[in-house]
Amino acid sequence: MAGSDLVMYEEEFKQIDEELSKLHEQANAKLTFLVDKNGQLITTVGETENLDTTSLASLTAGNIAATGGMAKLIGEKEFSILFHEGERDNIHISIISQRVILVVIFDQRSSLGLVRLRVKKSAEALSNIFNRILLKVEKEKGVKGEAKSPFAEITEEDIDKLFS
């Protein structure tokens, strides 16, 4: 299997949430969120009412994947920052640790310069947290026999119930 599954634990989730809240506030953003490169939403801070965050996450990942493909074609490793400018709202997208995507949506109450600066500062902290998660996942994998996964005991009956 390519890569490892992304697993999020309570402790690190809290730290990520805190760091994201800090960034959200300091960058004066409308909405700040983190997405796994496969399009799975990790967490959001800000104005999410009336917003389809699941679709937003999936399209963000598609966007990063497409520009990543373009980067490879011209001999770049990746484009680590994307910026979309709208009439009212703008989107700043950046890749963290080559694995997760940080998205900041902001309007005229903030500016691209401020967002870039704050994202840069938070990126390092977030990167450290994700590295810790990866280490933890590896460590847990090493502990054989003490399966912690709630899925170790799934039965066919459980699955049938999902579709009933």
**SS3 assignment, position 117:** helix
Under rule CB under 8 A, residue 143 binds another protein: no
* Residue bearing tokens 């997208």: 93
Number of residues this chain uses to bind another protein (CB under 8 A): 42
SS3 20: helix
Cross-sheet strand order for the sheet of 90-96: 41-46, 31-36, 100-106, 90-96, 81-85
**Residue pair 33/103 in contact by the 8 Å Cβ criterion:** yes
Q: Examine residue 47 and tell whether it contacts another protein (CB under 8 A).
A: no
Structure tokens at 15: 């730290």
Please choose, out of 21-29, 74-82, 86-94, 146-154, the segment that lies near another protein by the rule CB under 8 A: 146-154
75 scored as a contact of another protein (CB under 8 A): no
Instruction: Rule CB under 8 A: say whether 37 interacts with another protein.
Output: yes
98 binds another protein (CB under 8 A): no
Provide the binding-site residues for another protein, judged by CB under 8 A: 1-10, 13-14, 36-40, 42, 52, 54-55, 58-59, 62, 65-66, 68-69, 147-154, 156, 158-159, 161-163
